[in-house]
Amino acid sequence: MSTPTPDNLAPLIQDLQVQGRSLSLRFVCPRSGHAVPARHSLPAAPGNAVATRVQSTVSRTLMYSLRSALASLVRSVFGHGIAGRVASDLAWSAMAEADRGRQQAARNLSASEQQQAILAAFEGVRSRFVWDGEARAWVSAEAARELMGAFQRQLAEAPIVHPYDRQVLSRMLVEIARADGRVSPEEASWLTDLIGPDQGSLNELSQRPPLTSAELRATSPGAVRVSLLAMAQAMALVDEQLDGKEQQALQRFATGLDLRPAEATAAATLARVWMMDQALERMATWGGHDPQARQQLYALAGRLGMNQQEAEEAEARFLRRSAR
């Protein structure tokens, strides 16, 4: 979960207005357009003169409308990825800088007080938003559930956050990668990027003994264990196949985590559907959604142990989430 900051909240803000020591605005999800009104008032600072009006309502509304329009324009040009958000944030900063003189001159909320009020207003409605770690953006909770794939929802609802759980996950991933007796250069590179340095180097983790059932049972109980096994399942499927030694390791993890058969199956399904989603995203990037891409997708599904109906359902869910 990210901490709200002026920078990561800026893409949400529309119709911001300041009247005296009070601030009102709408936080608008950039994906769904879902708007949540919010308001916050700050007490007068000791020793300050009574605040005077800054601008007329018309002038103030125009400024914030222009700011919102510019942010939307930048997003329409650059998209909703990292580049779009960075460009949008820069545009927001430029507009805010141009407006700062007006606010200071008016002696209402100072620039720092305005940021403080925005953060406080967001805290009042924070339960209506969630942090999308992949996109590095706040989105409405309603949009997040539909726009996230099943795997992302699983990790959002049962995140792997405890330091011990993360240590265990690091060792699970390395054990899966080494199940066939070696770690390929591609796997080594991917693992090095995936596993943070605070968990130890790949070489250090490779020297650790296999996880025991006791170590696995010491992880956080409940759905977090499904998240752990799903991550290991995904690691096993990265090369689009699941060999016998990897299957044995996954079964050992499931038993050690004390998961019911249905939970272990759910973890495997999450990983398979996630793989299908990755394939669909790349197909869309490389050549679009056509009959040839669909046949390649179904062939991948077969290698992952999915039947055609499961593949079709995964495809349909992805297309719905991707619809704009």
- pTM (two decimals): 0.55
User: In sequence order, which ranges of 178-220 are alpha helices (DSSP H)?
Assistant: 185-194, 202-206, 213-217
Confidence of residue 81 (pLDDT cuts 50, 70, 90): very low
Count Cβ atoms below 10 Å from residue 97 Cβ, excluding itself: 10
Annotation: CATH topology of 151-322: TerB-like (1.10.3680)
What does the pLDDT read at residue 102? 45
Give all strands (DSSP E) within the chain, no chain letters: 13-19, 22-28, 35-41, 129-132, 137-140
Residues 121-161 have pLDDT tens digits of 888 888 778 887 767 888 887 666 665 678 878 887 888 88
What does the pLDDT read at residue 235? 83
Element (H, E) at 156: helix 150-157
Q: For residues 242-258, give the mean pLDDT.
A: 92
What does the pLDDT read at residue 177? 83
What does the pLDDT read at residue 248? 93
Confidence of residue 79 (pLDDT cuts 50, 70, 90): very low
pLDDT for residue 323 is more than 70? no
Return the structure tokens found at 221: 């109980």
What does the pLDDT read at residue 307? 86
Element (H, E) at 233: helix 223-237
- Angle at the Cα of 323 from the Cα atoms of 321 and 4, rounded to 5 degrees: 60
CA atoms within 13 A on the CB side of 43: 3
**Mean per-residue pLDDT of the chain:** 75
Domain segments of the chain as ranges: 6-143, 151-322
- Angle at the Cα of 299 from the Cα atoms of 152 and 301, rounded to 5 degrees: 30
- Residue pair 249/292 in contact by the 8 Å Cβ criterion: no
List 131's β-bridge partners, or say none.
138
